[in-house]
Structure 1
Amino acid sequence: MAGSGRMVDESAKNSLHERLRRDRKALLWKLDGLSEYDARRPLTVTGTNLLGLVKHVASVEARYFGEVFDRPSPEPLPRWQDHDGSDLWVAADETRDQIIGFYRRTWERSDATIDELALDAPGHVPWWPEPHADTNLFAILVHVLGETNRHAGHADILREGVDGRTGMRPEHETQIDEDARTTYRAKIEQAARSAASGKA
């Protein structure tokens, strides 16, 4: 029975890890074909931007699969959750290649941690309140997957607002039919107006 439990753990770990790999690529794909300005410019009232999302997710992953398991990143990490949100935007002297390269190197280190540790391997998150700070690889894998997926969703919406490009991965992208989009949007707008006026 113990062997069966290990097989279930490995299957669960592999499934979560594969989803994390997929979502990482989806997030990076949202930068493809964008100018430097469009990759960096604030696209919401709070300043959310595409390259900043990549920088932020890379930093999150580096901390959670690094510091939490006493495997700190060999690279300096941007400050996070501070007054200037420096991990959420990209300074003019930081290149896109630097940010993407940092994210990809983080993947390699995170993947090594995930591959080498069991799902119940203990970890400690010093920035989490007690008693939740003591955790394990399973909880961290789920947490980082959730963070990556959440920000990849943000990137979906931001990219759609920049140039209308949608899709989770390159193979899902379809040719944009502007007329069909306009008709579809108008239908939704009309339904919203009818509901608001009580004339549904």
Structure 2
Amino acid sequence: MTETNPKAELLRYLQEARDALTWKLDGLSEYDIRRPLTSTGTNLLGLVKHVAGVELGYFGDTFGRPFFDEEPPPWWYTEESEPNSDMWATADESREQIVGLYRQAWEHSDGTIATLTLDAIGHVPWWPEERREVTLHHILVRVISDTQRHAGHADIVRELIDGSAGHSQGKDSMPPEDQAWWESHRNRLERVAREANS
């Protein structure tokens, strides 16, 4: 049996989630990556912006490696920031800026991960005092979970925009059926739901 490197394995899962999330923006217009498709405003570019902030906070501030040298952006997690401002991009924030920030966050996070051991201790400044002390291992698992959750949101939002579905480019994990089959399948599920409800 091959011995695995736990840190490398966790980082691989994190990178897969990162790639899946950013891939969901490919081929879409500025409007489509920003348009809110849920009652709470969930949108693709906002999901990327949010997860960039998650990585910069958890792998940066938590371990004494802040990303922002000076003043953080106005959407950063402070008492002064507008509620939910990390979940959408203003008209002045381009796709390139947000995705670029996310890729910079990867580099910053990967630097933290490479430098520290899995049992290295950090302190999450925005958590209650009694829970602030964490390990790098804990934060890696937490951020993987959060990123995968938001990649799942992105899956649904993208499908609502143009019908695209699947995990990642070249690995969609979907049955290879045509549009007519999927329409029939969806109609069948609708019938079953109505029957179960009666």
Name 1:4's counterpart in structure 2.
Answer: none
Residue equivalent to 1:29: 23
The alignment's TM-score, normalised by the length of structure 2, stands at 0.90
**Match in the other structure for 2:193:** 192
Question: Aligned partners of 1:101 and 1:88: how far apart in 2?
Answer: 16
Corresponding residue for residue 77 of structure 2:
80
Q: TM-score, normalised by structure 1?
A: 0.89
Name 1:95's counterpart in structure 2: 94
What's the secondary structure of 2:26's corresponding residue?
A: coil
Deviation digits for residues 7-26 of structure 1, max 9, x if unmatched?
x8x72211111000110000
Unaligned residue ranges in structure 2 (runs of 5+): none
Kindly indicate whether residue 100 of structure 2 is the aligned counterpart of residue 106 of structure 1: no
AA aligned to 2:180 is D
Query: What does residue 40 of structure 1 align with?
Result: 34
C-alpha displacement of 1:39: 0.3
Kindly report structure 1 stretches of 4+ aligned residues shifted beyond 4 Å. none
Deviations 1:142-197 (A, max 9, x none): 11111101100100011011111011110124777221111000111111111111
Provide the residue aligned with 1:169 in structure 2.
Answer: 168
Residue 129 of structure 1 and its aligned partner are, at CA, apart by 1.2
Q: Aligned equivalents of 1:31 and 1:43: distance in 2? A: 14
Separation of aligned partners in 2, 1:66 and 1:113: 7
Q: Which amino acid aligns with 1:69?
A: F
Question: Of the candidates 57, 68, 79, which is equivalent to residue 62 of structure 2?
Answer: 68
Instruction: State the distance in 1 between where 2:57 and 2:152 align.
Output: 21
Aligned to 2:156: 157
| 1:74 CA drift (Å) | 3.1
The DSSP-based 3-state class of the residue aligned with 2:87 is coil
Aligned residue pairs: how many?
A: 190
Aligned residue identity for 2:28:
L
Q: Residues 57-95 of structure 1, C-alpha deviation per residue, up to 9 Å, x if partnerless?
A: 000100100000000003634323754311110000110
Identity over aligned pairs, percent: 52
In structure 2, how many angstroms separate the alpha carbons of the residues matched to 1:176 and 1:60? 37
